[in-house]
Amino acid sequence: MAKLSEEIVPWRQRAFVTVVEAATILGRSPTWVRDQLTSGPLEAGALPGNGPTVITVSSVLSVLLDRDAPRRVASTTEAKARTSRSYLRLVYSRA
């Protein structure tokens, strides 16, 4: 009988990770990861039998790369539109 290797395979070299592993990798909660499975960015993988829910490593990487991508810089008019507020005007009379 051959002895199974007890080496841990790094997550980037695997095809799938568990929900808990994906949450750890992404720095989020397992509940958030499950929500992302239903809303789209993360893809579930299929294991034979009744195994745990798994997530494709490629979808985890795409979420990581999306999160680390530089954000678009808003134009000046967009920034003003978001921050425009009416100012309080103080009227003072000595009469």
Query: Where residue 28 falls among pLDDT bands split at 50, 70, 90?
Result: very high
- CATH (one of 3.40.720, 1.10.260, 1.10.10, 1.10.3210) for 12-70: 1.10.10
The conformation of residue 40, written as its DSSP 8-state character, comes to S
Give pLDDT tens digits for 40-74. Answer: 889 998 888 888 889 999 999 999 888 765 655 55
From the DSSP assignment, how many helices (H) and strands (E) are in the chain?
4, 3
What does the block give as tokens for 15? 């095809």
What's the pLDDT at 73? 52
On the question of pLDDT at 86 being above 90, the answer is no
- Residue 27: per-residue pLDDT: 92
Whether the model clears a pTM of 0.75, i.e. scores above it, the answer is no
